[in-house]
Structure 1
Amino acid sequence: MAGKSGNAFDLNLFKRLLRYTRPYRLTFYFVGFAAIVLSFFSVVRPYLTRLTIDNSIVPKDGDNLIYYISLMIGALVLEVVSQFSFIFFANWLGQQVIRDIRVNLFEHMLSFKKQYYDKSAVGRLVTRAVSDIETIASIFSQGLFMIISDLLKMLVVLGFMFFQSWRLTLFVLAVLPFILYATRVFQKKMKVAFEEVRTQVSNLNSYVQERITGMKIVQIFGREQMEYDRFKEINDKHRKAWVRTVWYNSIFFPIAEIASSITIGLVVWFGGLRVVESEALSLGIIVMFIELAQMLFRPLRQIADKFNTLQMGMVAANRVFGILDTESTIQDEGEIEAKNLVGEIQFKDVRFSYIEEEEVLKGISFEVRAGETIAIVGATGAGKSTIINLLSRFYEIDSGSISIDNKNIQDFTLKSLRNEIAVVLQDVFLFADTIMSNITLNHEDISEEKVIEAAKQIGVHKFIETLPNGYYYNVKERGVMLSSGQRQLIAFLRAYVSNPSILVLDEATSSVDSYSEQLIQEATDKITQGRTSIVIAHRLATVKKADRIIVMDAGEIVEIGNHQQLLQQENGYYRNLYEVQFMEEEQV
């Protein structure tokens, strides 16, 4: 997609970026027209300066002086209006473009498989969606159109200079090849430098985001000094990347300034001699050429500066388009709308691996009848949570089939399938918002009355009412204002109000107080009643109440039966698990 590092410009990437300007083509053309108008204004003021000197100051004509000053004021007003229109609409266009790109990016990220997020640092994705896209805006506001405007100014100035005096123009052009060569080298070096800058910015963002999120772990294990030292190392790399860009700027701009000064010196020397020796040149022409020479080299220096901005924008665009080009979405080619499912589930010889050739599920097969509650037990890593992920199509299976109501889940539209399956995970995630918003997830069809009624039915209404502002209590980021048990109760209520056909629960209650555990058990009994439920069971009460228990070990189903049936199997896996894990709980 993008060119190799060091290439000054990637035309294909730039063309792709320009496609986002199509809905705003009138504004795009207007900004281009304003750039053309500004280029012609660039020679008006120097020319009026020449006329003022030659026709009024030298002959000491006061009336002409007032006339030319009036013309200069009028030209200045028109130039200011054109400059305002150019800058405002160029920035407006840039903001429209990045809004559209950001919407496309976020929509694309919403469709990614969970596997993509398993492997991607959150900080890097945030950098792409926020700061990188803001950098793209500068392509239009400070890069592309500014460069076009400067190039047009240079062409108009150069043409006008040749028209006025080709000899003086040749003196000006004598230094130009050197400046052009230096600019080209500068552009290539800056491209590499800015790619390194964006990489280090991403690394810094990712590190800071992860450490702030996991600060509790850092402090619990006393790793503050180590993390501080590591941060200094990453921050130093970030500093060095920026210093490299400063170094290139520090070399280029003084060189350009010296070249400009040498050019002006040559103009004054040659033009001054001609004025003294003959009338071939006037004082006004020399002053005009000094101003025109500065106008010729100033845009050249600005182009290099704006090209820096353009380069940073292109590097950022390359990274953003890299995510947009990522094919990590679940195929949504089903045509059947999953509505009011009966809830019959069938896994048939399902194989799955997170990493190729490392199977997590090794050809498992089982059936769940409509309205039945199935408990899944087994050691950590047995594949219990993987079953939950596959049922909702968060991952794609390697082989086999998963069916609901005798229809392959791939035949359902993805949205309708997930609407019929509610999942309560062990690690409950709450947004930094009110309890009401976390329950409804801002779904228009779920009213406040419905939420309150559902809360009363599963026994959590009283608990919510005890909180400040009740249902409108802000739980802050990740629900830190609530205990783990309270967060899980909110998750149960969120699942219940969605009225799913199939319920999937990971009902871990470690570090949960006895009162919350009692509420969770009551909520579990209520929401599983009358609907197909798959529960990763961590408590004996849930295991004993299940219609059937699926016992897993190392990605395989080793036993299936109810509590009493499995206990009767001599040296059975479930019986051994019960004696080690559940019997102590039952005695308590």
Structure 2
Amino acid sequence: MNRKTKKFLSYYKPYKSLFFTDMFFALLVSAITLVYPLIVRYITNTILVQYEIEAAMSHIFKLAVVMVGLAILELIGNFYIAYKGHIMGAKMEFDMRNEIFEHYQKLSFNFYDNKKTGQLMTRITNDLFDITELCHHGPEDLVISIIKFVGAFVILISVNLPLTILVFAFLPIMLFYAMHMKNKMNGAFRKNRERIADINAQIEDNLSGIRVVKSFANEKVEMEKFHRGNSRFVDSKKTSYFIMAVFHSGLGLFISLINVVVIIGGGYFILKKVISLGDLLTFLLYINNLIDPVKKLINFTEQFQNGITGFDRFMEILDIEPDIQDKKTAKELIDVKGDIEFRDVTFKYDDTSADVFRNINLKVEAGEYIALVGPSGVGKTTMCSLIPRFYEVSEGSILIDGKDIRDIKLKSLRKNIGIVQQDVYLFAGTVFDNIRYGKLDATTEEIIEAAKNANAHDFIMELPDGYDTYIGQRGIKLSGGQKQRLSIARVFLKNPPILIFDEATSALDNESEKVVQDSLEKLAKNRTTFVIAHRLTTIQNAKSIVVLTEEGIKEKGSHEELLQLDGIYASLYNIRQNK
């Protein structure tokens, strides 16, 4: 048994009792269907031949009562299979969806840099839908099919061996045909899933950027792009439907030929007085019992292909090992002062050969306010992203209070670092919900105090429902300055000893920038603070300004010292001043 099969079967373990009860009822239902033709044979070959009318009617009535009882049992069994069996499948899907979502949380920025959100959403939604049906119907259909098939085969042999051999001569050909088509269907279904993932990615991209689309009046362009993606999906569907049509119609032909053989062969054996008319009738009824499991197996093959391709894509994600995770010996970061040191740090992305920067050596004392400047693309944001280990250093090491960050538990490390970014992300929900994200067990008083420290309380109280106001997806109902102040309030509530401000005011107007800058300075007090600056005027009071290039740190000093140096910083400052 391979690893993937073991993994699939492991999802049945929590629901063993439900599974075995479902299998019991599947056995019961399939056994009942085998009994009906035997009753018909008994009526036609024995009761109608050997008994007078009144005695025959009495026996038939008794058998009718038995058949009604069997029908009620069949009803109970089918109901359980359809209801409880589907619940079992849904619970297994629930477990898989939880597992893949949890795995998403463990993967680093490197993974997300190379993936489209819509495609990742498909792995956790569409790909798992068919797995529910496979988890439920797969074992059940196999059990029912095997019982019916074997039972019908044994009974048919007892009725007439030559006719049974004729019927079963078709089965190896049917099996070969089904296996050949199964492989083609597998490829077709996988292509369908890839195409629907592309469509989801395109929809997510369009809806996220709908304001940009409308501002450029490019709705028609987006519709054409979507039409092309949608057409590709239809093309792949056409291919899969063609293969399915060949598959089903071919098997339908085999089934029709079996019935033809039974009718002609049965007629011949009746003429030869080898079998009776009642035996032929029984044979025809059992042929249906024989064909029904074949149909179920056909459906199972299609279902299996749908489900297993989804499970394959599910496993592809689970098989991706997080490239950043805790060491077994990792420890908590406690009593943090905030001393940070970069030692010979070099970084490059996994899929590139060129270094973003190299040989970074920098010591930052606890409580120091340090600014990072430099031309676009030299890795200022990336350098700061290395501190909370959003990315892993390629060479060298980063230390906090003398401890290598790779020896610190990730959760503990990130709990002590607060980040305020230029592109603020607010969740759909209320103001309370978004500020509380900084400390989930915070009291109402703590949240309001954090908002006041961030200069956000006054504007919040002017909102329709105050702190209970729903702010929309990504905080769309708020201005840029208001969103930024909520993100600052969130960090105030978190109360970390280390801060990173990533161009936090560069996208704001002058009035909003002043309010937000006041909030940031209040937040930075007595904390180790890294500021990535676009507007150099906002960092002139920084104790130390570091100028970063692709080759590492080229200049370091105060605003006045760097101007006197007349180097890269002075050049950048003069360019901005002349704009």
Q: Under a length normalisation based on structure 2, what TM-score does the superposition of the two structures give?
A: 0.94
Q: Structure 1 residue aligned with 2:75, among 54, 76, 80?
A: 80
Q: Under a length normalisation based on structure 1, what TM-score does the superposition of the two structures give?
A: 0.92
Is the 1:253–1:301 contact (alpha carbons within 8 Å) kept by the matching residues of 2?
no
Residues 204, 458 of structure 1: CA spacing in aligned structure 2 closer, same or farther, 3 A cutoff?
closer
Taking the TM superposition and a 5 Å limit, the aligned residue runs for 1:365-444 are: 365-441=361-437, 443-444=439-440
Match of 1:39 in 2: 30
Is the 2:25–2:77 contact (alpha carbons within 8 Å) kept by the matching residues of 1?
yes
**Cα distance in structure 2, aligned partners of 1:15 and 1:454:** 50
**Cα distance in structure 1, aligned partners of 2:380 and 2:12:** 49
**Cα distance in structure 2, aligned partners of 1:583 and 1:229:** 43
**Cα distance in structure 2, aligned partners of 1:398 and 1:329:** 12
| CA drift at 1:276 | 5.0
- Partner SS, residue 424 of structure 1: strand
- Which region of structure 1 is more displaced relative to structure 2, 103-112 or 54-63? 54-63
Residues 142, 240 of structure 1: CA spacing in aligned structure 2 closer, same or farther, 3 A cutoff?
farther
**Cα distance in structure 2, aligned partners of 1:277 and 1:556:** 99
Are 2:12 and 1:21 aligned?
yes
Residues 433, 92 of structure 1: CA spacing in aligned structure 2 closer, same or farther, 3 A cutoff?
same
Match of 1:320 in 2: 314
Is the 2:97–2:124 contact (alpha carbons within 8 Å) kept by the matching residues of 1?
yes
| CA drift at 1:530 | 1.3
Are 2:205 and 1:210 aligned?
yes
| CA drift at 1:352 | 0.4
Is the 1:108–1:324 contact (alpha carbons within 8 Å) kept by the matching residues of 2?
yes
Residues 336, 276 of structure 1: CA spacing in aligned structure 2 closer, same or farther, 3 A cutoff?
closer
Is the 1:377–1:549 contact (alpha carbons within 8 Å) kept by the matching residues of 2?
yes
Q: Structure 2 residue aligned with 1:473, among 456, 469, 486?
A: 469
| CA drift at 1:425 | 1.1
Is the 1:376–1:550 contact (alpha carbons within 8 Å) kept by the matching residues of 2?
yes
Is the 1:153–1:296 contact (alpha carbons within 8 Å) kept by the matching residues of 2?
yes
Superposed CA deviations along residues 238-287 of structure 1, whole A, max 9, x for unmatched, are 11222222222322323333332332233233333444553x53332222
Superposed CA deviations along residues 462-516 of structure 1, whole A, max 9, x for unmatched, are 0111112111222221221222222111111111110001011113434423332
Match of 1:148 in 2: 143
Match of 2:230 in 1: 235
Are 2:236 and 1:245 aligned?
no
- Partner SS, residue 330 of structure 1: coil
Taking the TM superposition and a 5 Å limit, the aligned residue runs for 1:316-355 are: 316-333=310-327, 334-354=329-349, 355=351
- Partner SS, residue 501 of structure 2: strand
Match of 2:280 in 1: 286
Residues 442, 261 of structure 1: CA spacing in aligned structure 2 closer, same or farther, 3 A cutoff?
farther
Letter of the 1:34 partner, please give it: F
Is the 1:187–1:304 contact (alpha carbons within 8 Å) kept by the matching residues of 2?
no
Letter of the 1:19 partner, please give it: S
**Cα distance in structure 1, aligned partners of 2:331 and 2:60:** 83
| CA drift at 1:398 | 0.9
Taking the TM superposition and a 5 Å limit, the aligned residue runs for 1:217-232 are: 217-232=212-227
Is the 2:438–2:491 contact (alpha carbons within 8 Å) kept by the matching residues of 1?
no
- Partner SS, residue 391 of structure 1: coil
Is the 1:460–1:519 contact (alpha carbons within 8 Å) kept by the matching residues of 2?
no
**Cα distance in structure 1, aligned partners of 2:127 and 2:306:** 9
- Which region of structure 1 is more displaced relative to structure 2, 133-142 or 380-389? 133-142
Match of 1:302 in 2: 296
Taking the TM superposition and a 5 Å limit, the aligned residue runs for 1:62-141 are: 62-141=57-136
Superposed CA deviations along residues 180-204 of structure 1, whole A, max 9, x for unmatched, are 2322222122112111111111111
- Mark the runs of 5 or more structure 1 residues left unpaired by the alignment: 1-9
Is the 2:420–2:504 contact (alpha carbons within 8 Å) kept by the matching residues of 1?
no
- Partner SS, residue 386 of structure 2: helix
- Partner SS, residue 503 of structure 1: strand
Residues 252, 360 of structure 1: CA spacing in aligned structure 2 closer, same or farther, 3 A cutoff?
closer
**Cα distance in structure 1, aligned partners of 2:439 and 2:92:** 29
Match of 1:193 in 2: 188
Is the 1:190–1:248 contact (alpha carbons within 8 Å) kept by the matching residues of 2?
yes
Is the 1:339–1:420 contact (alpha carbons within 8 Å) kept by the matching residues of 2?
no
- Partner SS, residue 124 of structure 2: helix
- Partner SS, residue 125 of structure 1: helix
- Partner SS, residue 556 of structure 2: strand
Q: CA RMSD in A?
A: 2.1
